[in-house]
Amino acid sequence: MPDLLNPIFILILLAALVAVVLITGAVRRYRIAEPDEAIIVTGRKGKTTVDASGHSFTDLSGQKVVTGGGVFVMPFVQKSFKLSLRSRRLLFNTTAQTKNGITIHAQAVAVIKVGGTEEMIRNAAQRFLSQQEEIESSTQEVLSGSLRGIIGQLTVLDIIHDRKALADAVLQAAEDALTKQGLVVDTLQIQEINDNQNYISNLGVPESAAVQRAAAIANTEAQKAAEQASIEAKKQILEANRVLQLQEAAVRAETDKAVAQAAAAKPLEDAVQRQAIVAQEEITAQRQAELREQQLNADVRKVADAESYRIQVTAEANAKARQVEANAERASREARAEAAKAEGVAEAAVTESRGNAQRTARIAAAEAAKVEGEAEAVATAARGRAEAEAIGARGIAEGEAIEARAKALTENAQVVLAQELLKVMPAVAEAFGKAYASSQITVVSADGTGKLTSDMVGNMATMTQMMKDATGIDLQAIVNATAQGSAAGTAMAKRGQSGPVLVDAPASE
């Protein structure tokens, strides 16, 4: 444990205590200015400074002004004071007479503050440091007096017409007085000017009347122009409507014309098409009639000849075949006779020479077999040739018959058409019969059920007559002609078949 009575320790302790006291005193004596205030330190000696022109002068005021910074105030020999630099708003009213003797009331608003230079701060501090609330009232008196003085130099019209000039004149008049007090005016606005005799109000009456008169005239002219424009617009609308109606009428007329033409074009086109179709049908019908006539001619005119020729050719082929068969049979008999003859010779040889009998018999048998085979081959060949000739004859006959039928069809198409109609007549009659059979019919007649039969036959006859009237084909006449032609062909065929048929017999080998 250190000795507390040691002089060195006591000195150190005293030094530390003095340092603490000095530091605490220095901190307590250091002043820092706010942004909107100034610190004024008094009690120091004068300071020699040099201005911008190079002249030096000594400040004997003994005041130090600090703004926006800090300063150390020596204890016992210096003191510090704070002066507010904030702006202050003043609203004041002034009553004064103008140059032309009119008493008016003016209301103005001003924003003032302590000047920012050290000199102005010292001036303000000398006057308002202990009574800073008096800054507003002092400034108000200065500004009111300056405003009254300026109003007395101007007329009402000057004041009313140029308030900015009035405010500038007031600031200029009060500037010297305020500068001496360390104050400055940031802004000054003349808010309101009026009087008790309505002088200012009446000043605008002539102008207002003139303005109203001009406004009335302008309104009248505007109404007149508006009415004229409305009339012109209506005229233009009417003209546009007229043009539109004319155009619509023209369009409707053109449309109606086109519609009428289209409506007429379709029947006309249909008529033209029908005419073309009818013409084509006439050509087709004429061609078909020609074809039918050719077919009927071929069928009717050549059928009999073709049938007769076919019968004749068939008969000739059959006769030739029979002749060939007869010749073959004769050859066969001759071969067998030769075989028998050979066999007799062989037997005689056996009788003559029994030693050679067996050999001779075998030779004879072989020869007989050979002869018989040759005879059979000749007969078979003859039959084949006969059959081939018969088949060829039949083919030629059938081809000639088909050609004759085609020629008959070409020459007489109407008859062929009638034949085709005759083919379907049984089906038509059957349809008539089915119609009567499937219906519940009550016959009221003295003839009884025979009346129904006669009616059916009459209907068929009526249909035949209708076909004759419609197509020009007489089925009754064609039926009769067909029957006659068939009878004639049959008779010719019979005559040709019963007549002699001469066929040259082939030479025997």
Residues 6+ apart with CB under 8 A from 404: 298, 302, 303, 305, 306, 309
DSSP 61: S
Three state DSSP letters for 68-111: CCEEECCCCCCEEEEEECCCEEEEEEEEEECCCCCEEEEEEEEE
* Sheet of strand 103-114: strand arrangement: 88-97, 103-114, 183-194
Identify the pLDDT of residue 149: 92
Q: Are 38 and 71 within 8 A, CB to CB? A: no
Token pair in block for residue 207 = 């102008």
Identify the pLDDT of residue 343: 60
Most confident segment among 319-323, 398-402, 504-508: 319-323
Identify the pLDDT of residue 321: 66
Token pair in block for residue 422 = 């005759």
Burial of residue 286, with CB atoms counted within 10 A of its CB: 0-12 exposed, 13-18 middle, 19 or more buried: exposed
Q: Are 408 and 300 within 8 A, CB to CB? A: yes
Report which of 63, 65, 59 is spatially closest to residue 37, judged by C-alpha positions.
Answer: 65
d(CA 395, CA 408): 19
Token pair in block for residue 480 = 């009769």
- What value does the mean pLDDT take over residues 374-384? 64
Q: What is the CA radius of gyration of the chain?
A: 80
Please check the confidence at residue 9 and state whether its pLDDT lies above 70.
Answer: yes
- What value does the mean pLDDT take over residues 431-447? 60
The distance between the two most distant Cα atoms of the chain, rounded to a whole number of Å, is 213
d(CA 113, CA 100): 35
d(CA 466, CA 287): 23
d(CA 385, CA 153): 168
As a whole number, the mean pLDDT across the chain is 75
Please check the confidence at residue 229 and state whether its pLDDT lies above 60.
Answer: yes
Separation of CA 153 from chain center: 85
Burial of residue 390, with CB atoms counted within 10 A of its CB: 0-12 exposed, 13-18 middle, 19 or more buried: buried
Identify the pLDDT of residue 499: 46
Helix axes 199-352, 357-411, angle to 10 degrees: 150
d(CA 288, CA 412): 12
Instruction: Render the burial of 309-330: b for 16+ CB within 10 Å, e for the rest.
Output: bbbbbbbbbbebbebbeebbee
Please check the confidence at residue 270 and state whether its pLDDT lies above 60.
Answer: yes
Please state, as a whole number, how many other Cβ atoms lie within 10 Å of the Cβ of residue 378: 18
Token pair in block for residue 300 = 């009717």
Q: Which residue has the higher pLDDT, 443 or 407?
A: 407
Domain boundaries, the chain: 7-81, 87-197, 278-502
Residues 6+ apart with CB under 8 A from 485: 300, 303, 304
Helix, strand or coil, per DSSP, at residue 451: helix
Residue 494: half-sphere exposure toward Cβ, Cα within 13 Å: 6
Identify the pLDDT of residue 354: 56
Please check the confidence at residue 443 and state whether its pLDDT lies above 80.
Answer: no
Q: Which residue has the higher pLDDT, 489 or 505?
A: 489
User: CATH topology for 87-197?
Assistant: Tetrahydropterin Synthase; Chain A (3.30.479)
pLDDT digits (tens, 9 = 90+) for 351-375: 555 555 456 556 656 665 665 666 5
pLDDT band at 505 (very low <50, low <70, confident <90, very high): very low
Q: CA 351, 355, 358, 359: dihedral to nearest 10 degrees?
A: -110
Give φ, ψ of 401 to 5 degrees: -65, -45
Token pair in block for residue 455 = 């009616």
- What value does the mean pLDDT take over residues 171-181? 92
**Where are the extended beta strands (E) located within 284-353?**
none
pLDDT digits (tens, 9 = 90+) for 90-113: 999 999 999 988 999 999 999 999
Instruction: Render the burial of 95-114: b for 16+ CB within 10 Å, e for the rest.
Output: ebebeeebebebebebebbb
Identify the pLDDT of residue 504: 42
